Amino acid sequence: MTEAQTPQPVIEVNNLVTHYGDRQILKDVSLTIQQGEIMVIMGGSGSGKSTLLRHLMALENATSGSIKLLGHELSELSQMDLYTLCRKIGVSFQSGALFSSMTVGENIILPLREHTNLDRTTMNIMARLKLEVVDLAGFENLMPSELSGGMVKRAALARAIIMDPALLFCDEPSAGLDPVVSSALDELILRLRSAMRMTIVVVTHELDSAFKIADRITVLDGGEILTIGTVDEVRNSSNERIQNLLNRRFEAEEVDPDEYLARLMGQT
Amino acid sequence: MAAPDKRGSPVHVLESMGRGAFRFVDAFGFGAHLFFESLYWLIRGRRMGQRVRAEPVFAQMMVIGVNAIPIVSMLSVAIGITLSMQGIDSLEQFGAQHQVMFMVALSVTREFGPLITGILVAGRSGSALAARISTMVISQEIDALKVMGVNPVRYIVAPSLLGMMIVLPSLTLWSIGISLIGSALYVAPQVGTTVSALFTEVNASIGTDDLAHGLTKSLIFAVLITIVSVVDGISVEGGAEGVGRVTTSAVVHGITAIVLTDMIFVFATTT
């Protein structure tokens, strides 16, 4: 394979360790995500997947380790360089994080208003275009409070892609949605990748969604990576913890009744 | 074994005081950082490609200032009349009730105008700012700004600070004027003179240094209200209950900061 054909890593995480107080959240996490890839980060509650995503978005500082985003080492960037880098990144938050005081249209054009000198008409046209991409045409004058949960997530996606980013982060895109809306959002993510050729990182605990959209899956458990592989590799993994996670099984815990009672009474 | 209950013990009291002092120093340092960072964006933002927009500044001025005019006016008239009634009652004992307007003008210009307006704005707009920021923190809107490459201090704090620094001294000036009008309307028939004669007296007795004293204080109060509200708003934890808690603490902390600063300012400028 020639160098030109080799996919370029968009994200490189090396030996990332992070703590909240005394508690270690991420334990020596390393992964590489290639250009144009959809990487799904999967794991149960408290596995560290959202923390990893916050580090990738430069919202947290790591205890040790490094993160390279689009060729830039995050810890070496000045605040202004970080803001410049952020223009190439789109983020769709779990809650949508739309500004409640602005209409959907104003939310979507906010990055354009802040980072470009485009006139209002052009910005409005671009907002309508992106709303059409996410099947929300005609909703630009509504307030976020007037939208359903699925619509909020789609509007957040429209805002995330307004600057045509090279990299898109989606935090739990289908959480709290019914299967039909959730499936439509998965289709939308796949469409975005093929239409805009962006690299997409999705954090989810929804197995169906993960298997549908992922090129590769990173499975996290207890702050460490259990495996990184294709959908089939993860499905067929012989690792018991991965199978437990996929089959929603929990490790049985031997309980000593006396110790349990003492714990409830606050004596241990 | 459960740890022994230390509550009420001298060690626990000392621990609590130490933690409180640490939190205060931490909040004070963070507030100072926010203030200087806001000034930085106001002065250098345009050159750095992160300018502070005029639109949110005007929006803040509208909310803090114009919408507060009716309540400020009503309170100011009441303060002016109350001071006049008290003044006439006290000065009559010395046969000096004709000097009441001088006393009211000095009190209102140097003390009551800035203080009452500051307290009113802390309760009305400081709480609103704390509620807005804490809601934005909880709903990840602040994170959304950061990942969009928008500095939250430049986008939220700097316009609020500038708006407050323009509006609070203006409101204070308005409050002083309305208080004096209210006072003059009450005093004139009481001491058998005219309103215009009373204002001539006020003009002669109140100097620009008195006005500067009041307006400088209101400028300091503007900074305090904004920074205290932002620091409290950002410190939110939990959901709606947390928003309620920081909103209340923003009012309490804001008013406390205003009253203490007022005392220090008066001490520094009069002794």
Residue A84 shares a structural domain with residue A187: yes
Residues in B touching A84 (Cβ below 8 Å): 149
Using CA atoms in the order B107, B113, B116, B122, what is the torsion angle rounded to 10 degrees? -140
Helical axes A149-160 vs A104-115, angle rounded to 10°: 20
Decide: residue B172, CB within 10 A, 0-12 exposed, 13-18 middle, 19+ buried: buried
- The residues on B that touch A, with CB distances below 8 Å, are 1-2, 48-50, 135-136, 139-141, 143-144, 146-151, 155
Q: What is the pLDDT of residue B153?
A: 93
Residue A36 sits at φ, ψ, to 5 deg, of 80, 5
What contacts A59, CB < 8 A, 6 or more positions away? B143, B146, B147
Residue A127 shares a structural domain with residue A251: no
Residue A180 shares a structural domain with residue A69: yes
Residue A170 shares a structural domain with residue A156: no
Question: Does the pLDDT at position B5 exceed 80?
Answer: no
Q: CB count, 10 Å around CB of B53?
A: 15
Q: CB count, 10 Å around CB of A252?
A: 6
Question: Does the pLDDT at position A1 exceed 50?
Answer: no
Residue A48 shares a structural domain with residue A64: yes
Chain A residue at shortest CA distance from B49: A115
Among A91, A94, A95, the residue with its CB nearest the CB of B147 is: A91
Q: Which domain holds residue A150?
A: 103-160
Among B1, B139, B148, the residue with its CB nearest the CB of A110 is: B148
What contacts A67, CB < 8 A, 6 or more positions away? A11, A12, A13, A14, A16, A55, A56, A58, A73, A74, A75
How far from each other are the two terminal CA atoms of chain A, in whole angstroms?
61
The reply to whether residue B1 touches residue A83, judged by beta carbons under 8 angstroms, is no
Please, what is the average pLDDT of chain B? Answer: 90
Q: What is the pLDDT of residue A3?
A: 46
Residue A188 sits at φ, ψ, to 5 deg, of -60, -45
Radius of gyration of chain B from its Cα atoms, rounded to whole angstroms: 22
Q: How confident is the model at residue A207 (pLDDT cuts 50, 70, 90)?
A: confident
Chain A residue at shortest CA distance from B152: A83
Question: Does the pLDDT at position A250 exceed 60?
Answer: no
Chain B residue at shortest CA distance from A91: B147
Q: What is the pLDDT of residue A249?
A: 54
Return the minimum-mean-pLDDT range out of A143-157, A245-259, B66-80, B235-249: A245-259
Residue A172 shares a structural domain with residue A43: yes
Chain A residue at shortest CA distance from B50: A114
In the predicted model, what is the mean pLDDT of residues B82-111?
A: 89
Minimal C-alpha gap between B131 and chain A (Å): 13
Instruction: Answer whether residue A97 is part of any domain.
Output: no
Task: State how many domains chain A has.
Answer: 2
Instruction: Answer whether residue A136 is part of any domain.
Output: yes
- Decide if A170 contacts A42 (C-beta within 8 A): no
Q: What is the pLDDT of residue A5?
A: 57
Among A97, A111, A169, the residue with its CB nearest the CB of B140 is: A97
* Cα–Cα distance measured from residue A61 to residue A51, given in angstroms and rounded to the nearest whole number: 10
Decide: residue A238, CB within 10 A, 0-12 exposed, 13-18 middle, 19+ buried: exposed
- Domain boundary residue, one of A160, A188, A204: A160
Residues in A touching B48 (Cβ below 8 Å): 80
Q: What is the pLDDT of residue B6?
A: 66
Distance from CA of residue B259 to its chain's centroid?
9
Residues in B touching A264 (Cβ below 8 Å): none
More confident residue, A264 or A53: A53
One-character DSSP codes across B97-164: GGGHHHHHHHHIIIIIHHHHHHHHHIIIIIHHHHHHHHHHHHTTHHHHHHHTT--HIIIIIHHHHHHH
Q: What is the pLDDT of residue B3?
A: 55
* Cα–Cα distance measured from residue A173 to residue A53, given in angstroms and rounded to the nearest whole number: 13
Residue A218 shares a structural domain with residue A195: yes
Radius of gyration of chain A from its Cα atoms, rounded to whole angstroms: 20
Question: Does the pLDDT at position B207 exceed 90?
Answer: no
Number of Cα atoms under 13 Å in the Cβ half of residue A118:
18
Chain A residue at shortest CA distance from B46: A114
Structural element, H or E, at residue A8? none
Return the minimum-mean-pLDDT range out of A148-157, B44-53, B55-64, B75-84: B44-53
- Domain boundary residue, one of A140, A160, A180: A160
In this prediction, does ipTM exceed 0.90? no
Chain A residue at shortest CA distance from B45: A80
Q: What is the pLDDT of residue A2?
A: 45
pTM of the model: 0.83
Q: Which two three-digit tokens encode residue B227?
A: 């920074």
Domain ranges of chain B: 53-270
The reply to whether residue B150 touches residue A114, judged by beta carbons under 8 angstroms, is yes
The reply to whether residue B149 touches residue A114, judged by beta carbons under 8 angstroms, is yes
Q: Using DSSP bridges, classify how beta strands A199-204 and A167-171 pair: parallel, antiparallel or unpaired.
A: parallel
- Decide if A25 contacts A18 (C-beta within 8 A): yes
Q: Is B71 helix (H, G, I), strand (E, B) or coil?
A: helix
Q: How confident is the model at residue B126 (pLDDT cuts 50, 70, 90)?
A: very high
Residue A68 shares a structural domain with residue A178: yes
Q: For residue A250, give Cα distances in angstroms to A48, A209, A240, A241.
A: 17, 21, 11, 9
The reply to whether residue A97 touches residue B144, judged by beta carbons under 8 angstroms, is yes
Q: CB count, 10 Å around CB of A100?
A: 14
Q: What is the pLDDT of residue B115?
A: 95
Residues in B touching A89 (Cβ below 8 Å): 147
Residue A41 shares a structural domain with residue A135: no
Among A97, A111, A169, the residue with its CB nearest the CB of B141 is: A97
The reply to whether residue A267 touches residue B1, judged by beta carbons under 8 angstroms, is yes
Residue A194 shares a structural domain with residue A64: yes
Among B2, B143, B155, the residue with its CB nearest the CB of A93 is: B143
The reply to whether residue A84 touches residue B135, judged by beta carbons under 8 angstroms, is no
Residue B133 sits at φ, ψ, to 5 deg, of -70, -40
Residues in B touching A267 (Cβ below 8 Å): 1-2
Q: Is A89 helix (H, G, I), strand (E, B) or coil?
A: strand
- Cα-based angle B138, A80, A86 (whole degrees, multiple of 5): 55
Question: Does the pLDDT at position A253 exceed 50?
Answer: yes
Residue A214 shares a structural domain with residue A245: yes
Q: List the CATH number of the domain containing A62.
A: 3.40.50.300
Residue A237 shares a structural domain with residue A108: no
Q: Using DSSP bridges, classify how beta strands A72-73 and A64-69 pair: parallel, antiparallel or unpaired.
A: antiparallel
| pLDDT cut 70: percent of chain A above it | 94
* Cα–Cα distance measured from residue B160 to residue B176, given in angstroms and rounded to the nearest whole number: 24
* Cα–Cα distance measured from residue B269 to residue B271, given in angstroms and rounded to the nearest whole number: 6
Give, as one character, the DSSP assignment of residue A73.
E
Q: What is the pLDDT of residue B46?
A: 81
Question: Does the pLDDT at position B121 exceed 60?
Answer: yes
Structural element, H or E, at residue B57? helix B54-64
Residues in B touching A114 (Cβ below 8 Å): 50, 148-150, 155
Among A83, A85, A98, the residue with its CB nearest the CB of B151 is: A83
* Cα–Cα distance measured from residue A197 to residue B96, given in angstroms and rounded to the nearest whole number: 85
